Amino acid sequence: MRASCRLIFVVTIEIVACSTISALAVATEPPSSPALSTVQEMIAARTDVWGDAAMRQPNGPSFKFFKDLMPPLRWVNAEFRHYPIVLSAPRARKKARFESNGGAVNPRANKKPMWFEDGDPITFEVGNPSEPFGGDLERLSQPEYLDGFLPVVTVRYRTKGATVIEEAFAPAVESYAARGTAMVRFTLAKGVGDERIQARIGSEDALHVADSCVQNPKGETLVAFSAGWKWDGELKALVADLKGDATTELAIFTKPNSSATRVSAEEFEGQKKACVQSWNKLLDDGTKLITPEPIVNDACRALLVGIYMLTVNDRLNYSAGNAYAKLYEGECGDTLRSLMMFGHLGDAPAMLKPLLQFDRKATRFHVAGHKLQLLSYFYWMTRDGHTVREYETLWRPSVDLILASRESESGLLPKDNYAGDIAEQVYSLNSNANCWRGLRDVAAMLEDMGSVEEAENLRKTAAEYREAILDAASKSIQMDAQPPFVPVALLADEPAHDPLTATRTGSYYDLICPYVIGSEIFGQGSKQEDWLLGYMQQHGGIAMGMVRTMPAQGEFKDTPGVVPLYGIRYQLALLRRDEREKALVGFYGQLAQGMTRGTFIGGEGTRFLGGDANGRTLYLPPNASTNAAWLVALRYLLIQDWDLDEDGKPDTLRLLYGVPRSWLVDGAHTTIDDAPTMFGPVSLDVSSKVSDGLVEMRLAPPKTAAKQMLLRAPVPAGYQIESVEVDGAKLELVGGNSVDLSRRTKPTVVRFRVRRD
């Protein structure tokens, strides 16, 4: 699945420094009535029955509502089975694979061509006689990050005589980072027994030990070990007997080290401290965000960290350790957008360049349209005209390709792939709509940069191009469907897929449809936009607010599931249309059922039925664009910058328009500090004292005034806003819970007066 939507598999499927805050009592929500649909009933339903039930809760959708509807994500289609956790220094080229049950570092997948192998596998065993570490799920804890989000992973495994604690991380210093090093420590829980640990090295080479290092015949170090380990040459294993407070440490090199390395408890602690400092600094360089939900704060930071762990230098790769360890234009462009939204603007110019250099002939028009849209987004977020001009030789060919390729008779681009994995040649609504949007956006960007004449010519061409697309679409829409079906294949009698996932083409339609919606080719709030959204929602296209799919071939054939990353534009359309509750379904649905517990890792997709009672299956995790999908949703719950007059230039800023009502329960506090927008940085501090009849907000708006700026206070169930004061002066409420702050550029204090219903 990727770009123009490759589906291969799927599935049944700050930037931020969001500090953790103490647990806050968020309003509890009684079970919905009537009884919830079963998993099988949810799968069979044409509508999002679980999402509808979530919206019926007193304060709307929540993590708690979705959390236990299905088993957690746990399994992958690899020999090691337990999902992998990538361990890497920020943006390092070499990365280690840590099995999430603690059972191995760099375990073999033995699943070509989709999974890659790197480094010699090191598997861990406990006890005497030994058993695989983490082999019995009843005695295994879920992996946890340090402080809830830092990539120092802890796993606990209970044996007959003790509880063994395993801790693993990737050092940030270059000498270790360049070799994809994983540092691992084993200790015992205090006051319980003793235990034997074995670290077996799965190398076919003859190995020897020198200077506390296990080395290959070339004298390269595979594993460095601390005092307490003994070498068993016959087993090719390091063995340690843990007692009391003693610890044992290993440094495992994915790329063998050319020299001996000393490892000790002190070295482990020093490198751990440096690792933590490195990641905290990266997060602190972005936006500070604190919400009233600790799990949201942890997920936010962990997902940002996850993106930087998958990144190689300036390349925002889709994944790591598998066939997706590469760029895809649309998907990885969304990853860059998410980083910019959360304040990592300084990295954006360098990360933009590989995406502008990207080329894929089979989907060249899809690539061209999204390349130009990404460039324009970069410009409005940074106003960096210098970089735009510096990279002109990289983006100008996309403009030329679109202008030169349109057919004289139809006015459309020539036929190309229906989707990345479907080679059927069609006049693609997706390709044409997004290429039109790219031209329109570049015209607006160039005008703002001072190239007025070129911008006007491009705008006129884009307008004429749009008319050709709309004409072809009007001749192609299946009006006898309910709602009318807007096809991807124009002028080709594409049938109205029902349900959408019944066929391979229908599943890909469901993935592509949000790209069409996001192009806004039909206009915001148009009847065609209603039809596109309605068809997905009424014909089996959405589950828990996420886009559904059903693979029609391969090992995942006929296993329904969801692909969260392709729902970004669907979610944004809902928020633009102020359909907040539906957007919150996807936000919490993905947090609860589209990520792993405790580590917030997602794949390209997830299955509803795969796996067993202990867990469901992810497809090729981790996935940076899945991270980005949730981060973009979070940002737009809080801060929405829109172009609502559809001229390609931002004009509207809406604050707190999508946040859940539970975030304004009594005592709740939200902080947003220095968050980039298309108008400049914004800061906002929100304190709820609804029991005292007050919600107070302190706003530092952008220095560039938006034509319209609105601030909302979605108070929890049981409360109603009576009035609003801005800097002490009463203003009229907008829509019952918002205030119009348009044209303001100076710090402002807003007080919403509330009462119980």
Give tens-digit pLDDT for 549-589: 998 877 888 899 999 999 999 999 999 999 999 999 999 99
Query: Quick one: pLDDT at residue 160?
Result: 84
pLDDT tens track for 233-250: 999 999 999 988 889 999
Those residues whose C-beta lies under 8 Å from the C-beta of residue 61, and which sit 6 or more positions away, are 51, 54, 55, 545, 581, 584, 585, 587, 588, 589, 660
Task: With beta carbons less than 8 A apart as the criterion, state whether 686 and 711 touch.
Answer: no
Q: Is the pLDDT of residue 15 over 90?
A: no
* For range 392-406, the mean pLDDT: 98
Q: Which of the two residues, 430 and 5, has the higher pLDDT score?
A: 430
The helix (run of H) or strand (run of E) holding residue 269 is helix 265-284
Question: Tokens 């089996």 identify what position?
Answer: 540
612: its two tokens: 């067993």
Nearest to 700 by CA among 719, 686, 721, 714: 686
- For residue 192, name the pLDDT band (cuts at 50, 70, 90): low
CA distance 511 to 37: 25
CA distances from 382 to 15, 443, 514, 679, 756 (A): 14, 17, 26, 9, 43
Question: Tokens 């990289």 identify what position?
Answer: 394
In what order do the strands lie in the sheet containing 719-726?
288-290, 669-675, 682-689, 694-700, 748-756, 719-726, 729-731
Nearest to 610 by CA among 562, 665, 546: 562
400 phi-psi bin (left φ>0, alpha ψ -120 to 50, beta other): alpha
- For residue 190, name the pLDDT band (cuts at 50, 70, 90): confident
CA distance 658 to 656: 6
Q: Is the peptide bond before 223 cis (omega within 30 degrees of 0)?
A: no
pLDDT tens track for 587-622: 999 999 999 999 999 999 999 987 888 999 999 999
The helix (run of H) or strand (run of E) holding residue 222 is strand 221-225
- For residue 302, name the pLDDT band (cuts at 50, 70, 90): very high
Least confident of 202-206, 419-423, 735-739: 419-423
Nearest to 672 by CA among 377, 300, 335, 347: 300
CA distance 38 to 44: 10
Calculate the dihedral angle through the C-alpha atoms of 447, 453, 456, 460, rounding to the nearest 10 degrees.
-150
* For range 10-34, the mean pLDDT: 36
- For residue 629, name the pLDDT band (cuts at 50, 70, 90): very high
Q: Which of the two residues, 421 and 447, has the higher pLDDT score?
A: 447
CA distance 591 to 62: 10
Q: Is the pLDDT of residue 19 over 50?
A: no
For the range 522-526, what are the long-range contacts, defined as Cβ-Cβ under 8 Å and sequence gap of 24 or more?
522/470, 522/473, 523/646, 524/576, 524/577, 524/644, 524/646, 525/577
- For residue 293, name the pLDDT band (cuts at 50, 70, 90): very high
- What 3-state class would DSSP assign to 32? coil
pLDDT tens track for 632-682: 999 999 999 999 999 999 999 999 999 999 999 999 999 999 999 999 999
Q: Is the peptide bond before 483 cis (omega within 30 degrees of 0)?
A: yes
Task: With beta carbons less than 8 A apart as the criterion, state whether 227 and 180 touch.
Answer: no
pTM: 0.95
Task: With beta carbons less than 8 A apart as the criterion, state whether 432 and 414 touch.
Answer: no
Task: With beta carbons less than 8 A apart as the criterion, state whether 463 and 455 touch.
Answer: no
All domains in the chain, ordered by first residue: 39-54+285-639 (1.50.10.10), 83-282 (2.70.98), 651-756 (2.60.40.1180)
pLDDT tens track for 497-542: 999 999 999 999 999 999 999 999 999 999 999 999 999 999 999 9
Task: With beta carbons less than 8 A apart as the criterion, state whether 52 and 67 touch.
Answer: no
Considering only the C-alpha atoms of the chain, give the largest distance between any 2 of them, rounded to a whole number of Å. Answer: 82
- For residue 161, name the pLDDT band (cuts at 50, 70, 90): confident
Please give the backbone phi and psi of residue 544, each rounded to the nearest 5 degrees, phi first. 55, 35
Count Cβ atoms below 10 Å from residue 412 Cβ, excluding itself.
22
Q: Is the pLDDT of residue 33 over 60?
A: no
Q: Which of the two residues, 30 and 661, has the higher pLDDT score?
A: 661
